[in-house]
Amino acid sequence: MLKTLTVSLNERSYPITIGENTLNSFEYFKLKSGQRVLIATNETIAPLYLSALTAMLEKNGIKVDNVIVPDGEQYKTMETWNTILSTLLKNNHTRNTVLIALGGGVIGDVAGFAAACYQRGIKFIQVPTTLLSQVDSSVGGKTAINHPLGKNMIGAFYQPQSVVINLNCLKTLPQRELSAGLAEVIKYGIILDPDFFSWLENNIDALLALEPQAMSYCIYHCCKLKAEVVAADETEQDMRAILNLGHTYGHAIEAELGYGNWLHGEAVAVGMVMATQAAKLLGHFSNSDIERIKSLLLKAKLPISKPQQMTAQAYIPHMLRDKKVLSGKLRLVLPTKIGHVEVVDNVSQDLVLESIELTR
């Protein structure tokens, strides 16, 4: 079931390899014998995959160091970023070193940002181990750390040299994390592909059961859709913003309630429902499509109601710090139908507040 595709960015193009035993295959990493590598991973992933990956690389003539950091969104910080940089420095790594991010979206984002900064840029490889990182955050070169006032506010666009996806990693993923990843999967159907959305309606149980053929197709299709968007708009000047459906609301939930209390995918799921309500209020979206989306999110074991401990007004300061804001005006990615979204300028705060209140 090995699948491959390419993110086409001229001299920065790179392959994505998807399979069940990819961590055993040196060829997918695009390394050369004699190179030095630093593997950045976390305390959850290290006991599962670090030894096997290190052994495979050393067998092929790679000198390997590692750095293990705490696990969780609350550790997507400058301190963790600095720990990775300090390890590179203490071990005398040079511009020829390759940094491997072994873990979920947090590790991928922080390690990628460290790679972008160390000696003004070293190569790095994404080895995503969660569904969310496999279908979304490992592809496209967005790297960042969080700030208490906003998610992903400090970072860089910096592409990896390869993405190596191992389907077997999903077998060790907790159910809640699997569902969180499905939020990003469902997002692709809403924004770009109505047929894929229908396929998800018919195959969500197979994905929850980690059925290999369904999961392989799902991850490949999501990566293909994202690769096409990234190739058209690498640094989010225009259409790449559509990938942020639900994220403006969702990031507000994460920041207000404390990073890690709601998983990113959980917050995005509720954020997408809020976005559909905003679209409906503008007369752009049907109630029947809202119900289809809510039904699929529920089948994926995701929340569809706003967190009760958070007032609607509490969203606004966070949303006004969103990277899509222009001249102090809110801009939201809103659906017009399943399979198509638009970036809407000058969305009023009153409409935003109403869309939040409706999501209950």
List pLDDT tens digits, range 129-170. Answer: 999 999 999 999 999 999 998 899 999 999 999 999 999 999
The amino acid present at 260, given as its one-letter code, is: G
Which candidate in 76, 123, 187, 226 is catalytic? 226
Confirm if 326 and 345 have CB atoms less than 8 A apart.
yes
Q: Catalytic pick from 10, 120, 202, 360?
A: 120
Q: Find the catalytic residue in 76, 151, 240, 331.
A: 240
Tens digit of each residue's pLDDT (9 = 90 or more) over 177-235: 999 999 999 999 999 999 999 999 999 999 999 999 999 999 999 999 999 999 999 99
325 pLDDT tier (thresholds 50, 70, 90): confident
Q: In angstroms, rounded to a whole number, what is the distance separating the alpha carbons of residues 222 and 134? A: 9
Q: Which amino acid is at 152?
A: N
Both tokens of 268, joined, read 């995005």
Q: How does 103-116 read in b/e, with b if 16+ C-beta sit within 10 Å? A: bbbbbbbbbbbbbb
Among residues 123, 151, 247, 318, the one annotated as catalytic is 247
Q: Which two tokens stand for residue 326?
A: 């222009």
DSSP 42: E
Residue 329's pLDDT is 87
Query: Which residue is catalytic, options 184, 254, 256, 266?
Result: 184
Catalytic residue among 244, 280, 294, 331: 244
Q: Is 280 annotated as catalytic? A: no
Q: What pLDDT does residue 324 have?
A: 86
Please say if 226 is a catalytic residue. yes
* Gap between the Cα atoms of 217 and 195, Å rounded: 13
| Whether the predicted pLDDT of 12 surpasses 90 | yes
Q: Choosing from 76, 142, 318, 331, which is the catalytic residue?
A: 142
Give pLDDT, residue 19. 97
The per-residue pLDDT of the chain, averaged, comes to 97
Residue with tokens 């550790």: 75
Share of the chain above pLDDT 90, in %: 96
Question: 222-276 pLDDT, tens per residue?
Answer: 999 999 999 999 999 889 999 999 999 999 999 999 999 999 999 999 999 999 9
Give the pair of three-digit tokens for residue 320: 């006004």
pLDDT at 328: 81
CA distance 10 to 68: 33
The yes-or-no verdict on residue 350 having pLDDT over 80 is yes
Q: What is the pTM of this model?
A: 0.95
Give pLDDT, residue 104.
97
In the residue annotation, 147 being an active-site residue is answered as no
Q: Is 63 considered catalytic here?
A: no
Among this protein's residues, is 76 annotated catalytic?
A: no
Task: For residue 120, indicate whether it is catalytic.
Answer: yes
pLDDT > 80? residue 327: no
Q: What is the pLDDT of residues 279-324, one digit of tens each?
A: 999 999 999 999 999 999 999 999 999 999 999 999 999 999 988 8
CA–CA separation, 319 and 314 (whole Å): 9
Q: What is the pLDDT of residues 31-65, one digit of tens each?
A: 999 999 999 999 999 999 999 999 999 999 999 99
Q: Which of 221, 251, 306, 318 is catalytic?
A: 251
Q: Which of 73, 177, 234, 236 is catalytic?
A: 236
Asked about 184 being catalytic, the answer comes back as yes
Confidence class for position 105, pLDDT limits 50, 70, 90: very high
Q: Among this protein's residues, is 142 annotated catalytic? A: yes
Among residues 123, 151, 264, 331, the one annotated as catalytic is 264
pLDDT of residue 220: 98
Q: 70 pLDDT band (50/70/90 cuts)?
A: very high
* Active-site residue flag, 240: yes
The full set of domains in the chain, from first to last, is 3-172 (3.40.50.1970), 175-358 (1.20.1090.10)
